[in-house]
């Protein structure tokens, strides 16, 4: 299956750090585990070559996952018009997309992410999926889907500890206890959604913003982490203070702040000058 005429930086997008389960293969393709299937994506110029354990409705699923329906070129133009000094950074992010990922998986992944490193986050998610997720055979190998809420809801703190989540064990249990009360997040304003998410123990502003950006397609959030803090404080004349940086990005980048911040993260972490 091929999707044609696509402007995407597949590698940059999948290895951007928002997706903890993409595997880079020797042939340059990427194998990734979505909520109900395993996919292998290969970029050849402006073509995407797709293989999957389940080809049913695959074109729509990949277009949604890679956010191919959003007109990033227009958004980028608008951003540059508002902030001409963003041009050189945005030019470095041509084809970079915000992935639309499973929201339940984003909750668990980003709760685990606090004060943690990407390697260990990925390892923990893989181990939990191995024990509680559905096994999928694809291309002669075994993969494990991210477990469903109905399976994880019965786990206790000590169960999570086995996977090296450390002090985050109680946060995961608190989230699972409250998950059903969070089913209206989609309908709330971004501000109210953030407030509601932060009623869960272990979810602060950064984690809540990531969940909304990657799990609920909200671009008007401020997932400011150490990388972005570093980028903004070294490229702009802004105090290295989370409140100051949030005020600045809200004023400068408006409804696309989440996207700009991801661009900054991408440039700061993955593209060294």
Partner DNA sequence: TGTCAGGTCCTCA
Partner DNA sequence: TGAGGACCTGAC
Closest contact distance (angstroms) between CB of 41 and DNA is: 18
Closest to DNA by CB, 52 vs 171, is 171
Q: Do 92 and 271 form a contact (C-beta atoms < 8 A)?
A: yes
Q: Minimum Å distance from CB 39 to DNA?
A: 19
Q: How far is the CB of 226 from DNA (least distance, A)?
A: 4
CA pair distance 142, 260, nearest whole angstrom: 37
Closest CB 141 distance from DNA, rounded Å: 21
Residue placing its CB nearer to DNA in the complex, 13 or 29: 13
Q: Taking the CA atoms of 148, 150, 153 and 159 in sequence, report the sign of the dihedral they define.
A: negative
Written as six digits, the tokens of 58 are 């695959």
CA-atom Rg of the chain in angstroms: 19
**Which residues would be at the binding site for DNA (CB under 7 A)?**
16-18, 113-120, 123, 161, 164-168, 198, 201-208, 210, 223, 225-227, 265, 269
Residue 227 C-beta: closest distance to DNA, Å: 6
Query: CA dist 73 to 86, 176, 210, Å?
Result: 14, 38, 23
β-bridge pairing 141-144 and 135-138: antiparallel
Pick between residue 116 and residue 233 the one whose CB is nearest to DNA.
116
Q: How far is the CB of 235 from DNA (least distance, A)?
A: 18
Residue number, 47 or 247, with CB nearest to DNA? 247
Any idea what DSSP says for residue 147? Answer: P
d(CA 189, CA 129): 32
Q: What is the Cα 12 distance to its own chain's centre? A: 13
Q: Which is nearer to DNA, 133 or 202 (CB)?
A: 202
- Nearest residue (CB) to DNA, 43 versus 101: 101
**How far is the CA of 38 from the CAs of 27, 76, 133, 187, in angstroms?**
17, 31, 13, 30
């Amino acid at each position: 299956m091929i999707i044609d005429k696509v402007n995407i930086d597949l590698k940059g997008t999948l290895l951007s750090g928002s997706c903890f389960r993409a595997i880079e293969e020797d042939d340059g393709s990427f194998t990734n585990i979505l909520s109900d299937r395993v996919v292998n994506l290969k970029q050849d110029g402006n073509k995407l070559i797709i293989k999957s354990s389940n080809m049913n409705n695959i074109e729509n699923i990949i277009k949604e996952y890679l956010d191919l329906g959003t007109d990033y070129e227009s958004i980028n133009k608008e951003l540059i018009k508002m902030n001409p000094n963003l041009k050189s950074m945005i030019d470095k992010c041509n084809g970079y997309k915000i992935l639309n990922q499973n929201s339940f998986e984003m909750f668990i992944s980003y709760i685990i992410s606090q004060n943690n490193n990407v390697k260990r986050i990925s390892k923990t998610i893989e181990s939990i999926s191995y024990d509680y997720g559905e096994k999928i055979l694809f291309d002669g190998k075994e993969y494990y889907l991210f477990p469903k809420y109905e399976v994880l809801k019965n786990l206790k703190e000590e169960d999570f500890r086995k996977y090296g989540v450390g002090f985050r064990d109680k946060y995961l249990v608190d989230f699972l206890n409250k998950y059903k009360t969070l089913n209206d997040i989609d309908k709330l304003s971004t501000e109210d959604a953030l407030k509601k998410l932060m009623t869960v123990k272990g979810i602060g502003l950064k984690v809540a913003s990531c969940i909304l950006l990657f799990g609920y397609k909200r671009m008007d959030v401020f997932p400011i982490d150490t990388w972005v803090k570093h980028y903004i404080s070294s490229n702009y004349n802004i105090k290295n203070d989370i409140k100051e940086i949030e005020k600045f990005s809200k004023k400068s980048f408006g409804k696309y702040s989440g996207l700009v911040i991801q661009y900054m993260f991408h440039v700061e972490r993955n593209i060294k000058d």
